[in-house]
Amino acid sequence: MSKPCSVCLEEEIVLPEVELDEKTDPTESANEPGSKKEKMQRIAPTECRICFRPAHGHHCGVASCKACKTFFRRICVSDLELYCKWEKKCFEDRETLRLRCQSCRYSKCIEIGMNPQFLELTEDEKKSENFKKLVPIEVKKPKISENIQSKEVLRKNKIDMLVYLESKLDKFRMSSYNPFWMEFGSLEEMIKHETRICFGDRCGVMPGWPLQQLQIPPLPSKSKIRALPDDPKLLCAPLPPGFERHYPVSQMAFGPLIRCGIQPTEYILLKAICLCNPTVPGLSNHAQDIITAERQIYADILLNHCLKVHEKSGPTRFMEILSILPVLEQQQRRQKDDHIYLIAPLVEKLGIFSQLMHDLYYN
User: Does 241 score more than 80 pLDDT?
Assistant: no
Amino acid 18: pLDDT: 44
Any idea which of 232-236, 295-299, 348-352 has the lowest mean pLDDT?
Answer: 232-236
Q: Among the residues of the chain, which ranges form H helices?
A: 6-10, 35-41, 66-76, 102-112, 129-134, 151-173, 187-192, 199-203, 221-227, 232-236, 254-260, 264-275, 285-310, 314-322, 325-338, 344-349, 355-362
Q: What is the pLDDT, as a whole number, of residue 249?
A: 75
Averaged pLDDT for residues 142-149: 65
Which residues 6+ apart lie within 8 Å of 37 measured at CB?
Answer: none
Mean pLDDT of the chain: 77
The domains found in the chain, sorted by start residue, are 58-134 (3.30.50.10), 151-199+250-362 (1.10.565)
- CA end-to-end span of the chain, whole Å? 118
Condensed to tens digits (0 to 9), the pLDDT of residues 190-229 reads 777 777 777 777 777 777 665 555 566 776 777 766 666 5
Total-model pTM: 0.50
Confidence of residue 307 (pLDDT cuts 50, 70, 90): very high
SS3 175: strand
Q: Give pLDDT, residue 359.
A: 76
Q: Residue 225 has what pLDDT?
A: 65
31, pLDDT greater than 80: no
In this predicted structure, which of 24-28, 93-97, 356-360 has the lowest mean pLDDT?
24-28
Backbone angles phi, psi at 328, to 5 degrees: -65, -40
The phi-psi region of residue 82 (left if phi > 0; otherwise alpha if psi is between -120 and 50; otherwise beta) is beta
Is the pLDDT at 20 greater than 90? The verdict is no
